[in-house]
Chains A and B, each alone.
Chain A
Amino acid sequence: MTLWLTIAAVAALSFTCKAFGPALFGGRTLSPRVRSVIAFTAPALLAGFIVVDVLGPRWSAVDLTVLAGLAVVPLLLWRRAPLPVALVAAVAVTALLRIP
């Protein structure tokens, strides 16, 4: 029962977090300054997602095999490789480095 209550509460909170911005901030024209801040949230948060995922809480998840796999992605994309190729290469590099 506790589990179901917890799931329901988390689902409701998740809904609220996602609804907050759209419900309160939509439907108005934004000034160019606000727009430019919003434009910067995408690269700032994307970099944050990567860092948080790679480092983990208190930097506990740092894993050199992951870093090596990730380093392959921009390299291949810069060399004009298609996205799926870059992703498969990242997974392959990490998997190869993990062979004991």
Chain B
Amino acid sequence: MGSLRSAQADASPSAKAAASPRASFVSGLKTGSGLAAAAFLLAVSFGAISTSQGWGHLAPVICSMAVFSGSAQFALLATLGSGGGITGAVTSAALVNSRFIPMGIAVAGDLRGGRIRRALEGQAVVDGSWAAAHLGGGRFDRYLLFGATAIQWPAWVAGTALGVVVSPDPDLLHRLGLDVLTPALFVALLFDEVRRERINRLPALLGAALAAGLIVFLPAGPALVGAALAALVALFRAPAAPAPPPEDVHRVHSDEQVAP
């Protein structure tokens, strides 16, 4: 889909490799702008709610700069707000962030440099950027990841600051339907994944089912780690994979052998 991945949309594997870092980064900025708009609105409500809970003016902004994870920060707010104390708050935020472990493992091979450099590069992984940077076949475009995150971070921090200063009624954002923006973007990214490679329908359905079941009794983070486990079905179907549909051969597997 051109609008989601302009630099990669028409890319054959060879073109992918040839896409310049600059073009990928710019493509990341474009993809990231929609994510940044959603992040901005979410951050406004984070700023407003945290201020109303007595965080003061500085702490919400510093928190957004340093943590940069909407779901973890809202978990932090909810736990501290309900008297959960420091241990409860840190535990719930850590659980939420546990999904970055499988996501980081997935992207690891496409980052550069030694351990420390890769660990730093891995900080660019946030949900939307990670999904947008997925080229298919388990490969990630590192510069697209950087670009998509580079535009979201300032939006996240600026939105928090605006929320702290203006403190809009959280109900207003809800009435305007703006809370639908974040899941709508994920629906668009998923639609793109599934249309590009029809084989992706299986893990998507399994991931959805696992998440829906696990969220009944687990916090969001572990439920997402459980959803990620749906990817293990690849182990069962890969060896038996019949000749994949033509576009799969072309797009996904041509630069690595079709599974043995």
Footprint of B on A, CB under 8 Å?
2-11, 13-15, 17-30, 32-33, 35-59, 65-66, 69-70, 73-74, 77-78, 82-84, 86-87, 90-96, 98
Contact = CB atoms under 8 A, between A and B. Distances in A.
A90 B137 CA distance: 30
Interface in B92-130: 93-94, 97-109, 111, 114-116, 118-123, 125, 127, 130
Interface string B177-205: 11111111111111111100000111111
Given A17-B101, A36-B138, A51-B212, A10 B184 contact: no
Most buried by B among A42, A70, A78: A42
Interface string B62-101: 1100111100110010001000001001100110011111
Contacts of B187: 50, 70, 73-74, 90
B17 interface: no
A25 B137 contact: no
A96 B77 CA distance: 30
B254 to A, nearest CB: 12
A44 B203 contact: yes
A22 B123 CA distance: 9
B166 interface: no
Nearest to B59: A3
Contacts of A52: 211, 215, 220, 223-224, 227
Interface of B: 1, 3-4, 34, 55, 59, 62-63, 66-69, 72-73, 76, 80, 86, 89-90, 93-94, 97-109, 111, 114-116, 118-123, 125, 127, 130-131, 134, 136-138, 174-194, 200-208, 210-212, 215-217, 219-220, 223-224, 226-235, 238-239, 252, 256-260
Report whether over half of chain A's contact residues are helix, strand or loop; otherwise say mixed: helix
